[in-house]
A and B are shown apart, each in its own frame.
Chain A
Amino acid sequence: LTIYFVDEDSYKYDAWLEELRFRGYEVVEFTNADDAFAHLVVANDVELAIIDVMLSAAPQGSDRFTRERTDDYLETGLALLNDLVQQRDGVFPARSVLLTNTINVSTFRSARECAVAHSIELLEKSSIDSPFHFGDRVEEILDGIDSRPGLA
């Protein structure tokens, strides 16, 4: 089973992801919403998808994650989650968590409303004190998620 980390700056969070690997998890990274959607919509090994709210779309342009729909790409992660929920309601939103480092009140409010609507966690990066703290939080979230039959 795999933890998916969807963040355009994922390389910067190597230490966090290494911590997850250190704890025995398989970690796969995506740096844009289109690639993540294409994979997650069919993947059978989703343990958890950690989706950053401010996320880029595909570099060559995206029909799905347009500027208008994503509020100038400030809320692409929310659009990605909503699309995944529509396509695979057996997996999402249950096996997902939102991640944000925004200080924009409007974006933060949207993210929180989305998290509340889907009954999932919204992790604020600024509240994560260290890679070990991140690892602890992810494990707490995984403990809280019921295993669903049908997932590999």
Chain B
Amino acid sequence: LAANVAEKSYDLTAPIMGHGVDLSPMAYTRWIGCAHSWTAWGNGVRVVTRAEVTGQPSRDLSVAAELARIAERLTLSTFERPRDFAVDVTGALVDELGLVAASLYVTSPSTGGLKLKAATGFSYEDYESFQLPMHSYAGLAVVDETAYVTDEMPLDPELYRDATLLSGRRIGGIVATAFDSASVQLPSRAPHPLGCLCLYPKDASDLQHVADVSAAAATLIGTLYLSALDRYLMHLRSRIVRESAFKHDIGSLVRKSLEVFKEELGFEAGSAWILDPRRNRLYLRGSTGLASGRRLADYSVASRGANLIASVFHEVDAAWHTSTEQTFDKAKVIERLDGPLRNGAAIPIEVPEPVRLGGEMRSAVGVMVLLNHYTDLGGVRHITDFSWEDEAVARFGSEMIAVLIYQLLRTRDHESDYERQMHGARTNLQCAKSNLQFLQTRLNIEDQLPLRYQHYVANCIDWIEDLQQQINRDEFVMRDDLSVDRIGLYGSVLKPVQELAKRRAESERVILEFTGVDLLASRIEMIPFVRGNAAALQSVFRNLVDNSIKYRDPSSPTVRLDIRLRLGDQDLTVLFSDNGLGIGDHELDQVFELGYRGEVARRINIQGTGVGLHECRFLLKKMGGAIALDESLTGSRFSITLKRWEKN
């Protein structure tokens, strides 16, 4: 039958296949229709529409033919967002039915109004801000779930508010038809009907035909509209994943997500409040379109159990939303909790199922507050509201963001556990070392212990220092945020490393000579401060020194380390060289790769993991610095570049 209709052939004696079931000749004397398969849309939606013959076969055949043409045209529609599809719908209706104009509205359950989604033939293009109340002709069609047809002139301005947008063009009347979906899988909180088609024919004589076609097309359009929404949600998901999933902290993730939401939903301003489960508080982690004189971190509220929306709205005096025309009134916000709020929406950021966070089972990890303000249109103030579709999109997106935030919070929980364990380990190691040092020196064990036993104590201290060093290095590598400060390179880094290296050399029974460092000590006031983290920089230089001792030349009795500085306008380069076995010129870049072990290390079978130099580069990069291995005839020569400290 679909093929027949498409060919404009109305042979009612042909066998009819509908839904895969043969209809008897008796049946098709009562029914005609058209069928289209929408599998090309990728989600397998199949739509079948039918029109009942009511005793006027020519009229019904005409409606079926119009419907077939509209359906065929919408099959070819390419769109990204539901609104683009809605534009195609109104365009197809105007073209195929020869209308003056057509518009498509979706319902806003929170306010009980209709939000304009698309229009063709209107002079006004700002769809986002035009809305109709439920006491308009379109509203009446939605309330009665039927078509509302009138040719009554002049139009009642209370009912026909959008007629002003036709710029005085003559119309024969108005047909308003509620539309719904045939699909049983509606988004949560989607109302019945989904919205309304408003059609404006040229002549009153066309009203009945237009009404018949729009009634026949309503379910088709409603179903395809939801299909368009589904497709759009897939687009939104891929956008959120692409732009937000790889953020490593909640603030960046939330800010990026709000930007995406603002672009996609077109709201004026918004903010996101995220739960800190450990503190049981909600913190403002990002906002867009809002003026604020204070830091985000200054805005936080105590969580009141499971209802995070209530927590945000009961506690926050939102007077700081100063950039919105309509001040976000606290009373109205609270009103939103019990019923409609005319200029905002609060969307819980919830994971699909409760998860354990901060020791409790929770679904909501935060709240997203979306705000719109009034728009003047033809002297009438309209509130840009959120439709069921906006809410469906926001809920879908917020669920995705919730999952991403949950992963970050879980990671933070693990990090918190790790921090506690490391805190204990660091404390114990430090105290053990202190006790040994105290015994070694203050109790003068040299007098009481044979020399060979004194080494036991010294070795224990060294091993503890190695462990401390390893823990510090791992922590620096693990942490996303390395605190960077003004560092005096000699006093805070080179001198402590030199002292540690001397002790290490003693325990390895190696003669260690530093050159250049003493010169630095004598000119300390001439060395500019650098930008870095003292402990991380110590870790870098200690790594280099350890390598120099480890890969020393066995034919040389002394390990010589030379440290010199080269000043640049913006940076300071430390030239570090030794007289060890060196690294081949062909390995200059590879030595910084994770797990790479140099030829010399492999040849002489010295234990190592190939991690140290990789971590050095990683840490320096975090501090805005760099490390390079220079070509050298003897030993190894590294250039470590650090940013000079700028006061501002």
A126 and B442 contact, CB distance less than 8 A = no
How far apart are B624's CB and chain A's nearest CB, in angstroms? 18
Decide yes or no whether A25 CB sits under 8 A from chain B.
no
A101 and B438 contact, CB distance less than 8 A = no
Going nearest first, the 5 A-B pairs with the smallest beta carbon separation are A15-B434, A15-B438, A12-B431, A130-B437, A15-B435
Which of B511-561 touch A at CB < 8 Å? 534-535
B419 and A126 contact, CB distance less than 8 A = no
- Contact mask for chain B residues 426-462; partner A; CB cutoff 8 A; 1 contact, 0 none: 1110110111011001100000000000000000000
B496 and A129 contact, CB distance less than 8 A = yes
Given contacts A12-B427, A13-B431, A126-B426, contact A105 B437 (CB under 8 A): no
Closest residue of chain A to B434, judged by CB? A15
For A14, the chain B residues whose CB sits under 8 A away are 431, 435
Decide yes or no whether A108 CB sits under 8 A from chain B.
yes
How far apart are A13's CB and chain B's nearest CB, in angstroms? 6
- Contact mask for chain A residues 96-110; partner B; CB cutoff 8 A; 1 contact, 0 none: 000001111100110
Closest residue of chain B to A22, judged by CB? B442
Chain B CB within 10 A, most for which of A15, A103, A125: A103
Please tell me which stretch of B134-142, B184-192, B307-315, B475-483 contacts chain A, meaning at least 4 of its Cβ atoms lie within 8 angstroms of it: B475-483
A127 to B441, CA, bound (A): 20
For B427, the chain A residues whose CB sits under 8 A away are 9, 12, 101, 125
A103 to B468, CA, bound (A): 13
A16 to B481, CA, bound (A): 31
A102 to B416, CA, bound (A): 11
Decide yes or no whether B422 CB sits under 8 A from chain A.
yes
A22 to B129, CA, bound (A): 79
Given contacts A103-B419, A126-B535, contact A131 B472 (CB under 8 A): no
Decide yes or no whether A54 CB sits under 8 A from chain B.
yes
Decide yes or no whether B414 CB sits under 8 A from chain A.
no
Given contacts A103-B423, A132-B441, contact A16 B434 (CB under 8 A): yes
Decide yes or no whether B279 CB sits under 8 A from chain A.
yes
Decide yes or no whether B278 CB sits under 8 A from chain A.
yes
B279 and A72 contact, CB distance less than 8 A = yes
Which of A1-38 touch B at CB < 8 Å? 9, 12-16, 18-19, 22
A42 to B448, CA, bound (A): 45
A71 to B481, CA, bound (A): 20
Partner of A109, one of B430, B435, B483, B499: B483
Given contacts A127-B535, A129-B496, A131-B437, contact A104 B426 (CB under 8 A): no
For B438, the chain A residues whose CB sits under 8 A away are 15, 18-19, 131
Partner of B437, one of A12, A15, A22: A15
Q: Which residues of A contact B (CB under 8 A)?
A: 9, 12-16, 18-19, 22, 54, 68, 71-72, 101-105, 108-109, 125-132, 134
Closest residue of chain B to A102, judged by CB? B423
For B416, the chain A residues whose CB sits under 8 A away are 104
A12 to B423, CA, bound (A): 13
Closest residue of chain B to A109, judged by CB? B483
For A134, the chain B residues whose CB sits under 8 A away are 434
Given contacts A18-B442, A22-B442, contact A103 B431 (CB under 8 A): no
Query: What are 9 pairs between A and B in contact, CB < 8 Å?
Result: A18-B438, A19-B442, A101-B427, A103-B475, A104-B419, A108-B483, A126-B430, A128-B430, A129-B496
For B435, the chain A residues whose CB sits under 8 A away are 14-15
Known: A13-B434, A54-B423. 18 other contacts (CB 8 A): A14-B431, A15-B431, A15-B435, A15-B438, A19-B438, A22-B442, A72-B279, A101-B427, A102-B423, A109-B483, A125-B426, A126-B430, A126-B535, A127-B534, A130-B433, A130-B434, A131-B434, A134-B434
A13 to B430, CA, bound (A): 9
Closest residue of chain A to B538, judged by CB? A127
A72 to B420, CA, bound (A): 13
Chain A CB within 10 A, most for which of B426, B468, B475: B426
A15 to B475, CA, bound (A): 26
Interface of chain A, main secondary structure: helix
How far apart are A12's CB and chain B's nearest CB, in angstroms? 4
A126 to B475, CA, bound (A): 13
Partner of B481, one of A15, A101, A105: A105
How far apart are B99's CB and chain A's nearest CB, in angstroms? 62
For A108, the chain B residues whose CB sits under 8 A away are 483
Given contacts A9-B427, A126-B472, contact A71 B434 (CB under 8 A): no
A126 to B442, CA, bound (A): 22
Closest residue of chain A to B278, judged by CB? A72
Which of B614-648 touch A at CB < 8 Å? none
Chain A CB within 10 A, most for which of B434, B441, B481, B535: B434
Closest residue of chain A to B302, judged by CB? A68
How far apart are B249's CB and chain A's nearest CB, in angstroms? 11
For B479, the chain A residues whose CB sits under 8 A away are 103, 105
B483 and A125 contact, CB distance less than 8 A = no
A9 to B428, CA, bound (A): 10
Closest residue of chain B to A104, judged by CB? B419
A18 to B443, CA, bound (A): 11
A101 and B441 contact, CB distance less than 8 A = no
A46 to B483, CA, bound (A): 33
How far apart are B109's CB and chain A's nearest CB, in angstroms? 39
For B534, the chain A residues whose CB sits under 8 A away are 127
How far apart are B213's CB and chain A's nearest CB, in angstroms? 64
Closest residue of chain A to B281, judged by CB? A68
How far apart are B416's CB and chain A's nearest CB, in angstroms? 8
A9 to B423, CA, bound (A): 11
How far apart are B566's CB and chain A's nearest CB, in angstroms? 28
A108 to B426, CA, bound (A): 16
For A68, the chain B residues whose CB sits under 8 A away are 279
A125 to B479, CA, bound (A): 19
How far apart are A148's CB and chain B's nearest CB, in angstroms? 30
For B475, the chain A residues whose CB sits under 8 A away are 103
Closest residue of chain B to A14, judged by CB? B435
For B431, the chain A residues whose CB sits under 8 A away are 9, 12-15
Closest residue of chain A to B280, judged by CB? A68
A52 to B230, CA, bound (A): 56
Closest residue of chain A to B478, judged by CB? A103
For A105, the chain B residues whose CB sits under 8 A away are 479, 481, 483
For A132, the chain B residues whose CB sits under 8 A away are 437, 441
A15 to B278, CA, bound (A): 35
How far apart are A52's CB and chain B's nearest CB, in angstroms? 10
A102 to B475, CA, bound (A): 11
A105 to B478, CA, bound (A): 12
A130 to B439, CA, bound (A): 11
A101 to B496, CA, bound (A): 19
A128 to B496, CA, bound (A): 11
A58 to B225, CA, bound (A): 63
- Contact mask for chain B residues 406-426; partner A; CB cutoff 8 A; 1 contact, 0 none: 000000000010010011001
For A13, the chain B residues whose CB sits under 8 A away are 431, 434
Chain B CB within 10 A, most for which of A71, A72, A108: A72
